[in-house]
Every structure is written in C-alpha cells, then in structure tokens.
Structure 1
Amino acid sequence: MRFFSAIAALLSTAGCVSAIGSIGFDLGVQRNSDSGCKETSDYLSDFSTIGDYTNVVRVYAASDCGTLANILPAIEQANFKLFVGVWPNDDAHFDAEKAALSAYLPTIDSSYIMAVTVGSEALYRGDLSASDLSSRIDEVRTLVHGISGYENVPVGTVDSWNVLVDGGNAEVIQTADIVIANAFSYWQGQTMANSSHSFLDDIMQALQVIQTTKGSTDISFWVGETGWPTDGGSFESSVPSVENAAQFWQESICGIRAWGINTLVFEAFDESWKPMTSGIQGVETHWGVWTNDDTAPKYSLNCEFA
C-alpha cells in the first residue's frame, strides 16, 4: 500500500514540480566506432539526433575523456543544457575533476549548466560514506560558487532511490543543493506488468524522504537514471526487448513526467564499445534509446498527456 500513500503525498505537494516534467538523457563520452573519446563534433552529432526531444543531457565526469573541454563548445553552439558529473571516489581522480571544473566552467555562461553533481551512486556502491560524500559536495560547491557567475549553480549528488530512502544517508541530502534519484525496475527483476508501479513507487519514496529531510517541498528534483534495455540477458523476471522498452517508456517515463517529475533517461545511445561480458549477456550495451548509428529512436518517444 506504500505506492498509494506516495501518490497522495505527491498530490499534496504538487507545487514543488511543474505541470509536465522535463526530459533529458544521460550521455556516454566514448565513440562506438573506435572506443575513442568523443570530440566536439561527436557531441554536436549527438545533439542533432536528440534535439527534437530535449536540449538537456548529463555526463558522469568532468575530466575523463576531456569531457568538459570537448562538450562545452558543443553545448554552447547547440544551445543545450548540461548536468556536469564529478567523480569523487579517490583523491587523484577527484583532484583531476576539480581541476577540470576550474579550467573549463569559466569558459561558458552558467546558464548552460543545470547543476554539478558529485558522485553517481557512490553511496549505493559503498565507494564513500555519507560523511565523506557530504564533505566532497561542500568542497565542490565552494569551488563552483567561487567562479564568477556560478554563485547560484546547484551542487549536489545522484544516487539510487533505496539508499536515499535509508535514513543513514540523511547527511548527504541535507548537504546537497539538489538530490537526484535513480530507479531501475529491470534491475529489481520486475515483470512488465509491475514495472511501472515499482518505478513510480520508488521515485515517490525518494521524493518524500528528500522533502522531509530538507523540511521543504520547494526543491529541485530529477530522476537521474531510468530506462529499459532492448537486448541482452534477462534479470530474474525482467526481459530486455524493444517492445518492453517502449512499454516502459509509455507507462513509467511518460507516467512520471505526467506527475510533473523531471526525468533523465539512461541512456541516449547504445554503447557497443563496452565489453559484451559486461552486465548480463551484454545487456549493458543495449540501454540506448537510439542505436549507435540510427538517427531515429528505436521506439516512439511521444507521450500523450491528458
């Protein structure tokens, strides 16, 4: 019955979200053709493909593959918006990420930057404690807000819905300006009949806990990752296929947006550069809404909102 109580909570706090939630895509930074790092021209090609549906994308790191150096010119040229990821797990990588922020954020107006997110499921994987992640969020916020024009850019984190619901991680929610929740019905082994109920319930639980912890419904909230693979191995009762991905889009992604929740979909394009041994029978290479080369999505992305 938790699902229905979560809906009631959302309806009672509807003022914290827009009428129809925005859509965006998580974006890989390696080319499928040769596994090389994407250059500005590659990002412009990506944006041309997805531009009919959104101008919002998210990347997972600032320094890896020269991400900020290569994507920011494309962001500005195509008039896109970017969630910038920061990988905080080890000191050397974290230092490289901060150096990239310092070097490249001043080259673009802050209006192109949706937020800076420190960590991607760092709590879920146990990479950092809540205290350590909170400290690194604070450190990045001090850096970002010290850049001229960036004083109001939100700095927060992205993590799995279940660890956000865990009261032991409340310190992170309190520290972050923005908290973004991931939820995958596929990785919970759900049937298609139950996948949308599971997803909507998970996200509503996360939103409730974030609002309660923050002591306010006036927050910025996004789903950070969700989607359904179109090929590869099954996980328990979850079966990858184009048909199931299309159903998940209509019932879950369109459904959550109809409730006013902003959603980033994992992911824009298949990533065939990943080893076929990754995940379950290559499933990690088939999460894209688009294949590697096609300019048309695998299934309809239209949502019929009443």
Structure 2
Amino acid sequence: CSFVHYDCGTTNTPISAIPAAIKTNTTLLLGLWASGDTFNNEVEALKTAISTYGSELANLIVGISVGSEDLYRNSDMGIKAKAGIGKNPEDIVNGIKAVRATIAGTAISHAPIGHVDTWTAWYNTSNKDVIDAVDWLGLDAYPYFQNTDSNDVTSGKSLFLDAVNKINSASNGKSLWVTETGWPVSGKQENLAVASVEAAKTYWDEVGCGLLFDKVNTYWYILQDAAKSTPSPSFGIIGSELTTTPLFNLTCPAIVSTSATSSATSTASMGSSTGSVTSSPATTSASEAASSTTGVTSFPAGFTTGVSWTGPSTHTGTSGAAATGTAGTSGTPGSATSPSGTTGTGASGSSATKPAFTGAANTVSASVAGIIAAIFAAVVAF
C-alpha cells in the first residue's frame, strides 16, 4: 500500500508507521488516499489513531494531506495519460471538511491540512475551491518527465521554478510544500532528459541544495524505490540494496548564501540535509544540533514557506504512509505524473525537518551519514 495511512490487509487499522514514529520521535506527514471509494476507511483510521496515541501522535504530526494528484488524474491531461482514477475538486473539498471535523477538538486539531498535486492542477482555475480549502499546497514536480519541453538536467532548475511561479500566482498566498521531486539515477531517456547518477546529483545540487533545502518543507523522492529489483526509471538514491552508501555524494556544494533570513536553529530537510547522527539509519534521524548553513541560495521571490503553527520543537521525520514499499505505477496510489501529462513513478516522502511553519529556514549539514539516516525514514510515503 502507498499513501494510505491504514495497514495493508486491514480496513481501517492505523498504519504501523505511527507507533514506530512515536518510538523513534519521528515526525509524520499523514496522507489520506482520496480517490476510489475507501476515503471513509481513511477517516476511521485517523479517528482510531487519535484515540489510541493521543498526544504522542499530536507532538509528531507535521500535517495531513487529503489526496495525492487526484485532480491531475481527473483532468483531461491525466485521462489522456491513463493516469488512473481521480476525483473532482468538490470531492477533495468535502474530504478536507471531513478531516477538519474529525480532528476538531482533538489532540491533533493544530495539524495543517493540505492537498498534493501537480502544478497543472493547482494552476487550473477550476480547482480554486481546493486552494481556498487548504492550509498549504503540496507540489509534485518532475522536470525529467516534461518530455514536451527542453528538459535536460541543466534545465531542471528553470522548469522547477516555472512550476513554482505558476502555483504561486494562483495560491492566494497559501504556503507551498514540495511534496515530491527528484531525478532518476537510471532509466530511459525522456526527450532530452537522461536518467543517470550524474544527472541525479546535478538536480540534487541545483534544485535541492540551491533552492529547497533550508528554505521550505521538502520531501525528496526517494531513498529506495524498490527492494531487490530496479524499476525503470529508478529514483532510488541508494539503489536496490538497503545500504548507508548513496549512489552519489549528498553533500551540498558550498554556495554562499544571499539570504539574510536564514535561521540556524532548525533541523535538516528530508532527503536533503541533516544534523549530526551517531547510530544506524534504521534508528536515527536528524539532530537539531546543526548550526551552520551551506549550499543555500536566496529563495525565489513569492515562494512562501510554512504556515503559522505552534508545534513540536523537534521534527525528525519518517514516512507519512509506510516505512517500506515499492514505487507507484500509473493509476496506482503513489504514482507521480509530470506537468506535461506523462505518467512517472513517485511518492512523496516524509520530513526529517523542523517545518518552516514560521518562515525560519532549516539548517543544512554536510554529514552524509546523517542524510542517509534522515532519508531512511522515508522509503515510501504518499
């Protein structure tokens, strides 16, 4: 299962990632699957999780997403791409209302609620009601799949920023979270986009280090997108074998920051950066000990970060859906689609970050071991 937050093989039993997160003090971005006819099961699982775990869960929740790419899949573009079953905007709005009613007056009533989709969905004026209903907008962006554009990896940054700017023009000032992005380490060529370890590193450096990490809630795709096999394309940073050795150097290049607003008081972004760690990736996540910033440039004007929320002081991230799993495919929960309508593989990870709810930047450390620990927590979410 992917995206859902109840255990596979059950109707509405809260996913086992929740007690694991509590045990390891790991933050959660909960994802509720909104397409199909199982949303009521999601809500029941959420109710059970609240009553079972109470404040232990409340202290770790970063946010809740109602749906993932449902609007894209239900669009003309998504239907043409045979992306799978989706939902209309009014369905997503009703789902958001149901979740708000469910958490009202509970220990997790503070959790900001959002929806995850492609920039084409957010930019489509027919989906304005969803924008009005959410606290934050989640962006799934894969320039690699934009095969009707000039999409070599050196254009990845500009294509990504184009998507951001289009969303911001329609978002009414709502905060934008990057819920899926990455570049494949292997796979077929999509127009000018070559899938390779070298290209994945370039995208990591230019988009991750250069734009996102230390600036905005970011969920990088992905530590490992399949076990014991290699899908095509593969976005897995460590390949098909679970290891602490990444396929490329995750250290951000030392780019001089041009931002005067960075705060060095927070933890690192999932899949991007981390503080110090001393134990194995299976049990360790980022520490709030980091105090310097590297690889950060000023964030593009209009890219809003965070919402006002008083939450836990430490967020050390894991999956919002499951601790392990395989990549989504076309038409299944977890599949990610490009703005151009080409269906790709993807899943939003989860945050090993102290969310920038108040606009404070998160710190970036050069600790590769810590990065692996942080990413390990998010093998699959959404």
After TM superposition, the score normalised by the length of structure 1 is: 0.71
Say which of 208, 231, 249 aligns to 2:169: 208
CA separation in 2, counterparts of 1:256 and 1:205? Answer: 16
Superposed displacement of residue 193, structure 1:
2.1
CA separation in 2, counterparts of 1:171 and 1:273? Answer: 43
1:129-177 superposed Cα distances (whole Å, 9 cap, x missing partner)? 111111111111211234x211111112100112101111111000012
CA separation in 2, counterparts of 1:255 and 1:289? Answer: 18
Superposed displacement of residue 77, structure 1:
1.8
What SS class does the counterpart of residue 116 from structure 1 fall into?
A: strand
Residue 40 of structure 2: aligned partner: 95
CA separation in 1, counterparts of 2:30 and 2:167? Answer: 22
Gaps of 5+ in 1: 1-28, 30-58, 277-281
Residue 66 of structure 2: aligned partner: 118
Residue 136 of structure 1: aligned partner: 95
**2:141–2:181: 8 Å Cα contact kept in structure 1?**
yes
CA separation in 1, counterparts of 2:138 and 2:180? Answer: 9
1:179 and 2:137 matched: yes
Say which of 16, 19, 28 aligns to 1:70: 16
Residue 151 of structure 1: aligned partner: 109
**2:113–2:136: 8 Å Cα contact kept in structure 1?**
yes
**1:186–1:195: 8 Å Cα contact kept in structure 2?**
yes
Superposed displacement of residue 112, structure 1:
0.3
CA separation in 2, counterparts of 1:87 and 1:71? Answer: 16
Residue 51 of structure 1: aligned partner: none
Q: Which has the higher helix share?
A: 1
Superposed displacement of residue 258, structure 1:
6.0
After TM superposition, the score normalised by the length of structure 2 is: 0.57
What SS class does the counterpart of residue 182 from structure 1 fall into?
A: strand
Say which of 37, 43, 50 aligns to 1:105: 50
Residue 245 of structure 2: aligned partner: 296
1:198 and 2:147 matched: no
Closer/same/farther in 2, CA of residues 288 and 169 from structure 1, 3 Å limit: same
Gaps of 5+ in 2: 75-85, 257-382
Residue 80 of structure 1: aligned partner: 26
Residue 61 of structure 1: aligned partner: 4
1:18-53 superposed Cα distances (whole Å, 9 cap, x missing partner)? xxxxxxxxxxx6xxxxxxxxxxxxxxxxxxxxxxxx
**2:50–2:107: 8 Å Cα contact kept in structure 1?**
no
Closer/same/farther in 2, CA of residues 258 and 112 from structure 1, 3 Å limit: closer
The amino acid that maps onto 2:249 is S
% same residue? 29
Worse-matched range after superposition: 114-123 or 135-144: 135-144
**1:222–1:261: 8 Å Cα contact kept in structure 2?**
yes
Provide the alpha-carbon RMSD of the alignment: 2.1
1:47-104 superposed Cα distances (whole Å, 9 cap, x missing partner)? xxxxxxxxxxxx721124268431112211222111110011122x112211211111
**2:7–2:15: 8 Å Cα contact kept in structure 1?**
no
Closer/same/farther in 2, CA of residues 195 and 63 from structure 1, 3 Å limit: same
Aligned residues: 234
Closer/same/farther in 2, CA of residues 237 and 68 from structure 1, 3 Å limit: farther
Residue 363 of structure 2: aligned partner: none
Residue 262 of structure 1: aligned partner: 217
